[in-house]
Amino acid sequence: MDAKEFRRLAADAVAGRLDPETRQRVLQAAEADPEHARFYAQLVAAHNGVTQRMQAPRPADAPAPAPRGISNAQVWGLRLIFGVAGALAGGMVAWGVIGDMNSPPSLPGNDASWTRANHPAGNHPPANQPARNTAAQPAANQAPANTATLPPANQPAANTAQPPANEVVPPSLPPALLRVTAGAESRLRVQRAGAADYADLAPGEGLNAGDRLALVRGTARLEAEGLLLLPAEKAELELTGPGAFTLRKGRVAFACFDGGWVAACNEAMVELDGSGALQVQRGGDELSVLEGTARVTLGSESAQVTGPRLLLLLRGLQQTALPAMSADALAAELHAHEEVLLGWDFESGPGACDLGEASQPGAGGSRGALRWRSTDSGVGAGGSTALFTMREEARLRLRVRTGSPRLRVTLKQLLPDGFRRVDMAVPLRGQGWQLVEVPLSLLRAQRGRESGFVPGALYAALQFEILPEPGEAFAGYTLEVDDVCVYAPRR
């Protein structure tokens, strides 16, 4: 079973909509391929978050319930219970005293009475076992010797100091699956997995599987490898497992260009691969896809949405065009968290790019793009003029149209005595315009033997080249790029 067929059938297998034979094929494919197994586990986690019955949580900002009073009947019942227990305890003590008065006097020669007099029992091993060495035991009337082991002269003593009794030791949490950054004047509440109540989220804490997060006020950003979530005020979401979350309330904008994440929204499951927003609301939940694609499963129905589109998550999965005003607002919301290091939109021509030629129209009907010429090695900027300074978590985003299965991205890292060429290969899908977003930490040098990603270094000569599979011809491919952007998340 290939990857495309597996992804098409996996959601139906999780929901129990396949016949036994087909479901068995899906399970066998998941067992045979680790990527299939990871994807199937994410679908299961999302499905469980949708279908399982969960106790309605107390609102994040609700006060704790006041303690209830005790009725008179409960008071008299407790008195009766304690009275009976006291009488029984007194009778047992009296019986023990009478027994001691009738017993013979305690003598050292009587083992039973010796033990009863709170002395240690004698060491009488079985006949076939040697007696234990009791020479180190102190006599009954002698204080125990100080047998503390001292470290050698050249070795420091172990630190056995304990924290003070009144010191609160914070509980250790596993590494967060989602990093959380709160905006100024923001308040976030979290209900940890297994906990009954919400508590304020401390700075630096993240989310793990089973945690619920509520944004009471302000803004926040949630991040994982290849994922950005921007919940709106009053939104609540739950991280149901690695690669899966459930939107319980409100709205969340997302950017997920590496794929591999599944979002649940009431009865719908959405496989994310692009940017957009999910919203829970009365009258029908909504999925806005700005860029990329999303595959939606709702009951027995499924649909694939390619942006910019708006999908009503109701029976029938109705699709409409995403209004231009909504698309612009969503793009501004997502890009407001980016610090642009380099941007080429080609609206007024090639600009700083000396490789390639202008072409029209560009991606999405824009006024221009940059097209590869057969006389050039690629498209982009050559030379050794610095274009940007590399930053931590820097990423590259562009739109590309080509028939090639892969794209090579090359740069020059400027050095005091010259430069070092670095590159990476990016897999492509489809024939039309597609959005590509990759972390620049994937850059390699020296034929992949060392990293080409050096934060703080100057980089020049950003170029894009066709990278066909071995044995394929070069001549049949074209290459166009548009909306090139190098950015770093704004902190």
Regarding beta strands 406-415 and 418-427, do their DSSP bridges make them parallel or antiparallel, or are they unpaired?
Answer: antiparallel
232, 292: one domain? yes
Q: How far apart are CA 217 and CA 32, in angstroms?
A: 46
Structure tokens at 269: 């499951």
283, 374: one domain? no
pLDDT of res. 139: 47
Q: How far apart are CA 181 and CA 175, in angstroms?
A: 15
CB 266 within 8 A of CB 313: yes
State the DSSP code for 364.
Answer: G
Least confident of 61-65, 229-233, 378-382, 429-433: 61-65
309, 376: one domain? no
Helix (H, G, I), strand (E, B) or coil at 226: coil
Which amino acid does the sequence have at 59?
P
343, 330: one domain? no
- Among residues 442, 439, 406, 405, the alpha carbon closest in space to that of 422 is found at 442
Least confident of 12-21, 74-83, 106-115, 375-384: 106-115
Last residue of a domain, one of 335, 366, 391: 335
- Is the pLDDT at 232 greater than 80? The verdict is yes
pLDDT of res. 214: 96
Question: Is residue 65 one of the residues assigned to a domain?
Answer: no
474, 353: one domain? yes
User: Which pLDDT band holds residue 91 (cuts at 50, 70, 90)?
Assistant: low
Bigger pLDDT: 349 vs 6: 349
- Among residues 322, 298, 301, the alpha carbon closest in space to that of 310 is found at 322
Kindly report the CA angle at 12 between 262 and 7, in degrees rounded to 5?
Answer: 55
pLDDT tens profile 190-205: 999 999 999 999 988 9
242, 386: one domain? no
- The domain in which residue 447 lies consists of 338-489
**Which residues does 478 contact at the CB level (< 8 Å), separation at least 6?**
371, 372, 401, 402, 403
Regarding beta strands 220-224 and 179-182, do their DSSP bridges make them parallel or antiparallel, or are they unpaired?
Answer: antiparallel
278, 396: one domain? no
pLDDT tens profile 238-261: 999 889 999 999 999 999 877 789
pLDDT of res. 371: 95
Last residue of a domain, one of 314, 335, 356: 335
Least confident of 9-23, 30-44, 45-59: 45-59
- Is the pLDDT at 162 greater than 80? The verdict is no
pLDDT of res. 54: 41
pLDDT of res. 90: 60
CB 178 within 8 A of CB 223: yes
pLDDT of res. 107: 39
Q: What is the DSSP string of 125-154?
A: --TTSPPP--TTSPPTTSPPP--PPPPPTT
Question: Is residue 412 one of the residues assigned to a domain?
Answer: yes
Q: How far apart are CA 396 and CA 398, in angstroms?
A: 7
Q: How far apart are CA 266 and CA 315, in angstroms?
A: 13
Question: Is residue 298 one of the residues assigned to a domain?
Answer: yes
The mean predicted confidence, pLDDT, of the chain is 79
Q: What is the DSSP string of 191-223?
A: E-TT-SS-EEPPTT--B-TT-EEEEEES-EEEE
CB 363 within 8 A of CB 369: yes
Question: Is residue 254 one of the residues assigned to a domain?
Answer: yes
Helix (H, G, I), strand (E, B) or coil at 70: coil
Q: How far apart are CA 34 and CA 422, in angstroms?
A: 30
- Is the pLDDT at 386 greater than 70? The verdict is yes
pLDDT of res. 353: 94
Mean pLDDT of 435-441: 90
218, 285: one domain? yes
Looking up residue 415, the CATH number of its domain turns out to be: 2.60.120.260
CB 219 within 8 A of CB 158: no
CB 296 within 8 A of CB 302: yes
- Among residues 250, 178, 244, 196, the alpha carbon closest in space to that of 54 is found at 196
Structure tokens at 207: 């989310």
Positive or negative, the CA dihedral 79, 81, 84, 90 is negative
224, 369: one domain? no
Looking up residue 250, the CATH number of its domain turns out to be: 2.60.120.1440
278, 364: one domain? no
Question: Is residue 46 one of the residues assigned to a domain?
Answer: no
328, 419: one domain? no
Q: What is the DSSP string of 81-117?
A: HHHHHHHHHHHHHHHHHHHHHHSPPP-TT-HHHHHHT
State the DSSP code for 333.
Answer: H
Least confident of 113-127, 181-195, 433-447: 113-127
Q: How far apart are CA 20 and CA 18, in angstroms?
A: 6
User: Which pLDDT band holds residue 473 (cuts at 50, 70, 90)?
Assistant: low
- Is the pLDDT at 289 greater than 90? The verdict is yes
Bigger pLDDT: 106 vs 339: 339
CB 285 within 8 A of CB 269: no
The conformational region for residue 234 under phi > 0 = left, psi -120 to 50 = alpha, else beta, is left
Question: Is residue 15 one of the residues assigned to a domain?
Answer: no
358, 482: one domain? yes
Q: Enumerate the β-bridge partners of residue 401.
A: 480
Question: Is residue 82 one of the residues assigned to a domain?
Answer: no
Our count of domains for the chain comes to: 2
CB 241 within 8 A of CB 270: no
Question: Is residue 216 one of the residues assigned to a domain?
Answer: yes
- Is the pLDDT at 342 greater than 70? The verdict is yes
Last residue of a domain, one of 282, 310, 335: 335
Q: Is 382 exposed, middle or buried (0-12, 13-18, 19+ CB in 10 A)?
A: middle
